[in-house]
Chain A
Amino acid sequence: MRFSLLSVARQGLAGNEGWPEQWRSPEPKAAYDAIVVGAGGHGLGAAYYMAREHGLRNVAVLDKGWLGGGNTGRNTTIIRSNYLWEESEAIYEHAMKLWEGLAEELNYNVMYSARGVMMLAHNTHDVQSFQRHVAANQLAGIDNEWLTPQEAKAFCPILNIEKTIRYPIVGAALQRRGGTARHDAVAWGYARGADRLGVDIIQNCEVKGIRRDASGAVAGVETTKGFIATKKLGVVAAGNTSVVMGMAGVRMPLESYPLQALVSEPVKPIMPCVVMSNTIHAYMSQSDKGEMVIGAGTDAYTSYSQTGGLHIANHTLDAICELFPVVRRLRMLRNWGGIVDVTPDRSPIIGKTPVPGLFVNCGWGTGGFKATPGSAHVFAHTVATGEPHPIAAPSISIASAPGG
């Protein structure tokens, strides 16, 4: 059922009893044309674009848990595209343009809000680095502008721009088109869209092995729901990518780290934008529910525990309290961790592998949510055509990486 003014009004008058399920919960078929491992935003989106743009309808998305329950449901939902290098600008701006039309495309309110993302500069190095970003972005046609501390405070009135604080604010880079979206709605919107195009979303189905034929190509996956045959396998398993790729004997240049976030009790609107400080590891915005959403840095060590050290969150709160004194007496409601897969150069990998029929989309590190639609779109192309999308092609393919 499509969402429209008419359908919402009709269902509302009928007590909202008539809404159907948003997606089916099918048992797996014996074989699919393509299988995606990982039902997060990137995986569901990839299946959606495979069906929508490449005519691949006989597709399944497998997840060992529930859809959107990994990093898609654990991040701080920041969206921006003001990256320095051309390769990064291309993929994140591709995503940004898709974000702008995503709710209409999916007929699902993903609550994308272009409220502006402001990145704080605290020292001379930050100023030089961010001004270089601003110039590079403007050359590439991506909006990014430099603000004085006073202009930054005008944009975000709760910001403390006193010169006496430990890390005073000496300027900021602002991307006005940046903002936030509702993480669950992104997963649900893609799931519903993919399901309507015939994609089977199979939750609680863990991949235990990758079966290969005599030539070494992918033949299917062993799962907790039995063997499922396919010749195209796309791995979008975030923090567990090394584990899944290891089932095909492919070693990845990745390490998995916990990344934490936390939210406060809800309060009335006090913050109109997103503020980030990479230098002192603090990220904050206000959700539509009123909770202050706060992101911390990664832990020092590799882990799959989906939890992080309290001292990491504490360190972030120290910075938050200094930057935004108004939140000092807020109580924190929830604190959680996700597991992010980090490459040595912190750039993602979207491409082919040495195993025919095996594709991988990983290495999004701490910045995956903002890329969701772009990553999904590019990866769908990669799996459907068997070749990297032009946007992902400049990066070094792991097919050419040694032993990889």
Chain B
Amino acid sequence: MLLIPCPWCEAERPELEFRYGGEAHVARAADPASVDDAQWAQFLFFRTNPRGLHAERWRHVAGCGRFFNCLRDTVSDRIVATYKAGEPRPDAGALATGGAS
């Protein structure tokens, strides 16, 4: 089970308190009417599915109830960083050199 630091609550909590929300930063088109089928399919069905760092959404359903994003290594399942929804994805290189605590 993952131990997930919620950036809103500023506390680590067990995975059971959270709901996974899929890949992060997959933006819905600003003007849906102008989007063709190919672009809709990309938005709906195609994901990065990386072997390595993955930016993903989580929701603290049994806590603050708020969405946030998480950078996790999909090989080790180690969580590298969590950050509030709306904030930019942290630079993985800087985290690797500076954030090894």
Contact yes or no, B49 A252, CB < 8 A: yes
Contact yes or no, B1 A300, CB < 8 A: no
Chain B binding surface SS class: mixed
Q: A309-B15, A401-B41, A402-B41 are in contact. Are A302 and B56 (CB under 8 A)?
A: yes
Task: Give Cα A254 to B47, complex, Å.
Answer: 7
Number of A-B contacts (CB under 8 A): 64
20 contacts across the A-B interface (CB closer than 8 A) = A242-B49, A242-B50, A243-B51, A251-B46, A252-B46, A252-B49, A253-B41, A255-B49, A300-B15, A302-B54, A303-B75, A305-B77, A309-B1, A309-B2, A311-B1, A311-B15, A311-B16, A402-B37, A403-B42, A404-B46
Contact yes or no, B45 A301, CB < 8 A: no
Interface size on A, residues (CB 8 A): 24
Question: Does B38 interact with chain A (Cβ within 8 Å)?
Answer: yes
Contact yes or no, B51 A240, CB < 8 A: yes
Chain A binding surface SS class: loop
Task: Give Cα A155 to B32, complex, Å.
Answer: 54
Question: Does A85 interact with chain B (Cβ within 8 Å)?
Answer: no
> From residue 29 to 74 of chain B, which have CB atoms closer than 8 A to chain A?
37-39, 41-42, 44-51, 54, 56, 72, 74
Binary contact track A251-265/B, C-beta < 8 Å → 1, others 0: 111111000000000
Shortest C-beta distance, B59 to chain A (Å), equals: 11
Contact yes or no, B38 A301, CB < 8 A: no
By a CB distance below 8 angstroms, the chain A residues around B77 are 303, 305, 307
Shortest C-beta distance, B53 to chain A (Å), equals: 12
Q: Which residue of A lies closest to B14 (CB)?
A: A311
- Interface range, B side: 20 to 34
Q: Which residue of A lies closest to B39 (CB)?
A: A402
Q: Which residue of B lies closest to A401 (CB)?
A: B41
Task: Give Cα A38 to B15, complex, Å.
Answer: 33
Binary contact track B1-18/A, C-beta < 8 Å → 1, others 0: 110000000000001100
By a CB distance below 8 angstroms, the chain A residues around B51 are 240, 242-243, 304
Shortest C-beta distance, A299 to chain B (Å), equals: 9
By a CB distance below 8 angstroms, the chain A residues around B44 are 344
Shortest C-beta distance, A291 to chain B (Å), equals: 25
